[in-house]
Amino acid sequence: MTYITKPQLHHPGLAPNGLGKTRRDYEGSVSTLCAGCGHDSISAAIIQAAYELDLPPHRVAKLSGIGCSSKTPDYFLGASHGFNTVHGRMPSVLTGANLANRDLIYLGVSGDGDSASIGFGQFAHAIRRGVNMTYIVENNGVYGLTKGQFSATSDKGSKSKKGVVNHDSAIDLVSVALQLGATFVARSFSGDKAQLVPLIKAALSHQGAAFIDCISPCIQFNNHAGSTKSFDYVRDHNEAVNTLDFVVPREAIHVDYEPGTNTLVTQHDGSVLNLHKLAEHYDPTDRISAMAYLAGRQAEGEVVTGLLYVDPRATDLHEGLETVETPLNQLTDAQLIPGSAVLAKLNASLR
Amino acid sequence: MRPLEAVNDFVVKFANVNGSGSASANAMFAKSFLRMGVPVAARNIFPSNIQGLPTWYEVRVTEAGHQGRRGGVDMMVAMNPQTWDRDVAEIEPGGYLFYDSTKPLPPSKFREDITVVGVPLTRMCNEAYSVPRERQLFKNTIYVGALAALLDIEIGVIEQLLAEQFAGKERLIAANVAALHMGADYVKANLAPLGLRARRADKVGDRIYVEGNMAAGLGAVYGGATVCAWYPITPSTSLAEAFTEFCGEYRTDPETGKARYAIVQAEDEIASIGMVVGAGWNGARAFTATSGPGISLMQEFVGLSYFAEIPAVIFDVQRGGPSTGMPTRTQQSDILSAAYASHGDTKHVLLLPQDPGECFEMGALAFDLSDRLQTTIFVMLDLDIGMNEWLTQPFAWDDSRKLDRGKVMTHDELEAGRDFGRYLDVDGDGIPFRTYPGTHPTKGGYFTRGTSRNPYARYSEEGSVYVDNVQRLLRKFETAKGLVPAPIRRDAAKPTRTGVIYYGSTGAAMDEALQVMEAQGRFVNAMRVRGFPFADEVFEFIAAHDQVFVVEQNRDGQLRTLIMNEGGVDPAKLTAVLHYDGTPITARFITGAMGCALSPAAPTPERRQVREAAE
């Protein structure tokens, strides 16, 4: 991590975004992951999404746990504060950070070991609290950094590189997130940038707990025949329920789909999700039927991707706690300390 | 046997069944002495259970103002048949037994050498009330009335306390006052006053009567804490609850009604400290409250806070360990696990309050120190301070005091081109500058990690870079020495080569023990440590004495170990005096143990563990 910083030279041909920043301004250090790693594609998608959204990089806080996936925040948004926390505990740290300053955009990056094994509890509780965040699990079904052990998202019956067959049931994080009340749930594939970038943009704009399960094959330890998280397997079994066109408030909405095949969903911040339906009758605003659909397709061995669920009226933890609009880390002494007069009164009541 | 006679100097112990509503009646009994200007020291001794198990409440009436437990019982209010035998056995010879005489008991259930005072409480209740719950609750008020008459407590004082307790509920006030008089009238008609008497005095002054947990929760409000993440655990729960209550009252935006704080009951202690670290990283003052098991669970995050240099405050209300241990009993047994929490080479700052007054002061100070030192600050309470009401100095606050946010580089400083190295020691005190996330569009951003890194926060596994960094952390710890509360030294009336070191809730019993020993011609210089890292004075004190007792409430002499380890002190010089049965230490125990060790014939207390009988 941070072995090499990229030179800050800009190619003259790079196009600036609404903030006058180029895509280059959203990059980070040179990745130290294996060449061809799915995680690097996800980093690239995050960079693209932040660039297209005109996000000021320093207004994003990126947090992660431990593992290959959790190293990646070093490789994007170099001007942002980042926090590589401890294994499986990023959700609590992100929650605390969010409580301290509600004005920043929180991006949590985790892996399947980090979120489905050691950190399963924290993942669950951060989701159910409705922390306003984008939570991306870079899901490769394997422990890469310790060289190839199964993770809790490895499918039952799938084979490790060493030929061992997994006999434990898999945790499907998407189903769990839906059950726990995440207000934005998506699944994508690191090899499908066209699908992933708009999903990340929509998630970053979502004002609640947004979860993206991104299948990201491990080319070293989980990209062989018998794996259900390999590039080939996912390409063969990917069933996208929709394609998403993310539209920020200032843009005009163009609908060029056949009538009746697209849905427009307006989020709190005014952004519009223009969804082109691929699966018939799939309604991404209906949580119960989304769960049923997922379970059915999963039983058929399909990997359902796309925006699976969104609640445009999402609320977040701060609304639940009724905190002031001013970030808590910016409150003044006068707003925090009741003073000596209050103590005098309190003392009198304790005699 | 002559019945005991004493004025304003005796111990009354209540034996009750928990869940019977006795707690508020007993507390009112204690408070009635305070209102008469007579200090008390009261202790709850309760089970880890909500209803049905034995619970005791001990009130030491002490015009001399001793705040520790005395040990021994002069009068037992035996309201629990389950514990009758041991309760009766605990009474001092010549003492008094107060009991419900509705049902006759055989003489074998009593003792020859005590005075038995029977009041038919159940019969009186059954005659006066028809609702079972009323019979139960008013029985408590009736016995308070009976005790008032027996001990000469001014009944008007108790009436006033009832009026305050049930303010706005006139019917309840009247009913309770009636029950109070029912008890008092029975005594006046049927019994003679006892040898134990209350007498109005003027020894309470402006002191307040409050629990340490409440004081610490208030300290967190005054310390500017805005984020509290916690997980319920005895005996710390009431600290987080007090913070919640005070915030509701003092931290609600008057215009919008919104909260200037965020309190989250986390899923466990690990998440609690994780949230605290996240909030601290992001520039909010944050804390958690926990006890020993929570400290065990939080170790990894405390190491992260130490190494990545993130402010955090942990209130540890210590209880009996190890494992689940004695959850409702007191000990000082987390000192080592807090001081050296987490794997790798770590050391943490500890604040050691001795009473609720210091819980408030150090509770507030902890947040300044955590921002200044950018690390975890432990405030080490224990159940005895945390969950008992103590007579303590009134809370005070200097309105000109400003919160010390420590070294935070601002947008303007970054803009002006000031060099920012997150782990760069620019002032030689080991403390680097930090930036809050989101400060500047292009400058001051950095990556926080628990891995080793260079002064500019770049990942590095180079040995020399690592060593430089951890050496700087030692420099920072040295800086902490001058910031934590200084030890308080108290010299004996005559020069002596014997010293004693202690801390926290042991202080109350120690104050009294020193007085007792001095009266017996045994002179001991005393030092109360109030913070870790230890100030140089602590080691100078040890060097200046031939023998130094270290008195604390755990089995292994943890404070003694910490002193030896940090100061390279010869173990032979430090004699451990250890009390660890879960009850608060007493002056009787201390004088006994130190007396044995001071007399040449006796073995040292290290080998001979002295325990109090009949706890």
Which of B447, B453, B458, B460 to mutate to test binding with chain A, by most A CBs within 10 Å of its CB?
Answer: B447
Query: CB-hemisphere CA count at 13 Å for B318?
Result: 29
Classified as helix, coil or strand, B558 is helix
Q: To 5 degrees, how large is the angle CA B512–CA B516–CA B518? A: 115
Give the mean model confidence (pLDDT) for residues A244-250.
86
Q: H or E stretch including B55? A: strand B54-62
Q: What is the pLDDT of residue A8?
A: 65
CB B197 within 8 A of CB B150: no
Cα A272 from Cα A248, distance rounded (Å)? 6
Predicted local confidence at residue A306, as pLDDT? 95
Alpha carbon of residue B364 to chain centroid: 16
Q: How many residues does chain B have?
A: 615
Are A93 and B221 inside 8 Å of each other by CB? Answer: no
> CA dihedral defined by A238, A241, A243, A248, rounded to 10 degrees?
-130
For B453-470, the three-class secondary structure string (H helix, E strand, C coil) is ECCCCCECCCHHHHHHHH
Residue A255 has pLDDT above 50, yes or no: yes
- Stretch B300-326: mean pLDDT: 98
Q: How many CA atoms lie within 13 A of A173 on its CB side?
A: 39
Inter-chain contact B438–A101, Cβ cutoff 8 Å? yes
CA B387 from centroid of its chain's CA atoms:
7
Predicted TM-score (pTM) of this structure: 0.96
**Measured distance CA(B264)–CA(A85) in Å, rounded:** 20
From residue B536, give the alpha-carbon distance in Å to each of B210, B350, B378, B379, B497. Answer: 33, 16, 20, 21, 19
Q: Chain B residues with CB inside 8 Å of A74's CB?
A: 447, 459
User: What DSSP letter does each residue of B233-271 carry, written as one string?
Assistant: -TTTHHHHHHHHHHHHHHSB-TTT--BSSEEEE-SSHHH
CA distance B280 to B22: 42
Interface contact flag, A333 B403, Cβ < 8 Å: yes
Q: What is the pLDDT of residues B256-309, one digit of tens each?
A: 999 999 999 999 999 999 999 999 999 999 999 999 999 999 999 999 999 999
How high is the pLDDT of residue B370?
Answer: 98
> For A337, which residue in chain B has the nearest alpha carbon?
B222
Bridging pattern class, strands B91-100 and A149-150: unpaired
Task: Describe the crossing of helices B292-308 and B269-281 by its angle, rounded to 10 degrees.
Answer: 30
pLDDT value at B603 more than 80: no
Closest approach of B281 to chain A, Cα-based (Å) = 7
Residue B200 near chain A (CB below 8 Å)? no
At residue A192, the 3 state secondary structure works out as coil
Paired sense of beta strands A184-189 and A149-150, if any = unpaired
Residues in chain A: 351
Contact A84 B448 (CB under 8 A): yes
pLDDT at B164 over 90: yes
Q: What tens digit of pLDDT does each residue of A155-181 get? A: 999 988 888 999 999 999 999 999 999
Nearest to B444 by CA among B460, B429, B456, B453: B456
The tens digit of pLDDT for each residue in B497-509 reads: 999 999 999 999 9
pLDDT at residue B611, rounded to an integer: 40
> Would you report the helix, strand and coil content of chain B in percent, each value rounded to 5?
40, 20, 40
CA dist A44 and B34 (Å) reads 70
Q: Do A2 and B397 touch (CB under 8 A)?
A: no
Give the distance from residue B324's alpha carbon to the nearest chain A alpha carbon, in angstroms: 22
pLDDT in tens, B107-123: 999 999 999 999 999 99
Neighbours of B314 (CB within 10 A): 30
Query: Residue B596 above 80 pLDDT?
Result: no
Distance CA B218, CA A337 (A): 10
CB B94 within 8 A of CB B3: yes
Residue B209: its chain A contacts at CB < 8 A?
A: 350-351
pLDDT at position B223 over 80 = yes
Residues of B in contact with A101 (CB under 8 A): 282-284, 436-438
Q: Under an 8 A CB cutoff, do A81 and B438 touch?
A: yes
- Whether residue B278 and residue A324 make contact (CB cut-off 8 A), yes or no, is no
pLDDT, tens only, B378-387: 999 999 999 9
**B517: which DSSP letter?**
H
Average pLDDT rounded to a whole number, residues B408-413: 98
Contacts of B206 (CB under 8 A, 6+ apart): A347, A351, B394
Q: Taking 80 as the threshold, does the pLDDT of residue A11 lie above it?
A: no
Q: Which residue has the tokens 């095949």?
A: A261
A148 band by pLDDT with thresholds 50, 70 and 90:
confident
Contact B447 A1 (CB under 8 A): yes
Interacting residues of B454 by C-beta distance below 8 A, sequence separation 6+: B423, B460, B462, B465, B469
Higher-confidence residue of B1 and A131: namely: A131
Partner residue facing B279 (CB), from A58, A97, A318: A97
pLDDT at A281: 83
Min distance B381 CA to chain A CA atoms (Å): 20
Q: What is the mean pLDDT of residues B318-344?
A: 97
| Residue A112 host element (H or E) | helix A112-112
In this structure, what are the phi and psi dihedrals at residue B416, rounded to the nearest 5 degrees?
A: -75, 0
Among A195-204, B26-35, B481-490, B592-601, the range scoring the smallest mean pLDDT is: B592-601
**What number of other Cβ atoms are within 10 A of residue B111's Cβ?**
16
CB A298 within 8 A of CB A172: yes
* pLDDT beyond 50 at B609: no
Contact in structure between B400 and B335 (CB atoms under 8 Å): no
Q: With beta carbons under 8 A apart, name residues in chain B contacting A119.
A: none
Cα(B300)–Cα(B313) distance, integer angstroms: 15
CB contact under 8 Å between A96 and B276, yes or no, is yes
- Name the residue of chain A whose CA is nearest to B451's CA: A84
B268 at the A interface (CB within 8 A)? yes
User: Which residues on chain B are in Cβ contact (under 8 Å) with A8?
Assistant: none
User: Whole-angstrom Cα distance, residue B25 to residue B44?
Assistant: 13
Q: What single letter denotes the amino acid at residue B330? A: T
The average pLDDT across A24-42 equals 94
Burial status of residue A131 (CB atoms within 10 A of its CB: 0-12, 13-18, 19 or more): buried
If you measure CA to CA, which chain A residue comes closest to B267?
A: A125
Instruction: Give the residue from chain A lying closest to B31, CA to CA.
Output: A351
Q: What percent of chain B has pLDDT over 70?
A: 97
Confidence band of B140 (pLDDT split at 50, 70, 90): very high
Determine, for residues A331 and B226 on separate chains, whether the beta-carbon distance falls below 8 Å: yes
Q: What is the pLDDT of residues A281-304, one digit of tens each?
A: 899 999 999 999 999 998 888 899
Per the prediction, chain B carries an average pLDDT of 95
B327 cis-preceded (ω within 30 degrees of 0) = no
Whether the predicted pLDDT of A117 surpasses 80: yes
Per-residue pLDDT tens over the stretch B81-99: 999 999 999 999 999 999 9
Angle between helices A90-100 and A120-129 (to 10 degrees): 30
B599 pLDDT tier (thresholds 50, 70, 90) = low
Six token digits for residue B369: 């120190």
Q: Which residues pair with B520 in a beta bridge?
A: none
- Inter-chain touch B446–A81, beta carbons under 8 Å: yes
**Residue carrying the six token digits 């241990």:** B325
pLDDT of residue B48: 79
Task: Give per-residue pLDDT as tens, B431-464.
Answer: 999 999 999 999 999 999 999 999 999 999 999 9
CA–CA gap between residue B608 and residue B592 (Å, rounded)? 12
Does residue A220 have a pLDDT over 50? yes
Residues of A in contact with B281 (CB under 8 A): 83, 93, 96-97, 100
What does the block give as tokens for B98? 């107060």
Q: What angle do CA B254, B402, B346 make, to 5 degrees?
A: 110
